[in-house]
Amino acid sequence: MSRPAAFALAFLVAVAVNYRASGVAVAQPLAPVSPATQQAIQTYLRDPNGSGRQLLDAARQEQAGTLNPIHELLIGDAASRAGLYRTAAAWYGDVRDRGGPAQLVAAAEFGLAWCALGRGGLDEARDHLAAAAAADVAQRSTADFATALLDAAEGDVAAASALATSTNDPVLGEAAPLVGAYARYWSGDMSGAAQAFMAFAIAHPDSRFTDDALYAAATAKLQAGREAEGLDDLRALAGDGHARGRVSLRLLELDPRAVLREGMRRDRDLPVRAVSRRVADLLDGDGVRLAQAAVESSQRDDTPPPAPRRRVHHRRPAVEQSADHGTQTDGAAPPTTASAPAARRAHDAPAPAPAAPPASRFPWSTLAVLALLALLGSYLLARRPPRAPDRRR
């Protein structure tokens, strides 16, 4: 088992053991962690994507009503990784409702916030984040950072900047300036966003977020009207590689919900880790891949890469229609309609004059053929030998 996984297991078991030894009264005491459950937890922490079923198998072996809350939290985590947010919320909600150590209640509230975010409920996620901070004051900085990120998604620059820059957590502190930059971007302040993203990239050239900041700065420049500079930045970031897989148009535009949704998709393939790291990882995308997809799109349709629409109140962008089969698509494929200059040229070009109707013509050729046939018939009749007289008369 890896060191982080072993530490996490030891911490969770220690919480249960210390809590039971403390003698604090709760509605329902923590159930002991059986050897089978410990083995299932160890396997899950080592390979969360391939061993979630073992957690359920171990749960079925436990007596009714005695499932350990640690076990329930991990089952909820496995369900959320599979995208089963309502199922995961049921497990997290049971841990919260049963009460227990502050750490476990806060973990359950964070799980509920994660499920709400996965379903697109930003306000519900805020409520659970506030409840997590109230349950365990040690988690306040993480809850504040996550709340600031949600504020940024709705374009609240003041709230996002104030909350995101107040954390003392080194993991969150590294990503904090990006939250304020994204808030400007999502509020429509493209010039300010481009400056903030570039400042982050210059100040943190070796950060894992640098490629994301460079891509966001380039797209902000495009939206601000600095197309040549933005395209040059995209090409420099893309290099000679090619984008892997399909990239949605909303993600290329850095739509806030698309960015958060993509971060949660990446989370499913990552190991179990601290909540603060998990929240910060939402912003750790693949800026190089996005730049490659944007450049390839611009090369296909000979237009600049898609830039986000300037808006304050977010509306779901209109979906492109495929010209081949009429189905909806939000991919990075170039639109099938003509580019704007070509469309204007086609619109301004004079329409071709309608063809003149054919003039009415007398059928001389037909008449000549009929005359020839008549002459030929007369000639043949004239050369026919006369009939012999009837001798019976």
The pLDDT score that the predictor gives to residue 110 is 97
Q: What is the mean pLDDT of the chain?
A: 78
Three-point CA angle 179, 181, 183, nearest 5°: 70
Among 61-75, 169-183, 276-290, the minimum mean pLDDT is found in 61-75
Contact at 8 Å (CB) between 148 and 178?
no
The pLDDT score that the predictor gives to residue 255 is 96
Q: pLDDT by residue (tens digit) across 304-357?
A: 555 555 444 443 333 333 333 333 333 333 333 333 333 333 444 444 444 554
Q: pLDDT by residue (tens digit) across 50-65?
A: 888 889 888 888 766 6
Q: pLDDT by residue (tens digit) across 122-168?
A: 999 999 999 999 999 999 999 999 999 999 999 988 877 776 556 67
The pLDDT score that the predictor gives to residue 304 is 52
Domains defined for the chain, CATH in brackets: 1-135 (1.25.40), 151-314 (no CATH)
Portion of the chain with pLDDT greater than 70, in percent: 66
DSSP classification of residue 328: E
Q: Collapsing DSSP states into helix, strand and coil, what is residue 360?
A: coil
| Backbone angles phi and psi of 101, in degrees to 5 | -60, 150
| Backbone angles phi and psi of 34, in degrees to 5 | -70, 160
Three-point CA angle 114, 72, 90, nearest 5°: 55
Mean pLDDT of 219-232: 95
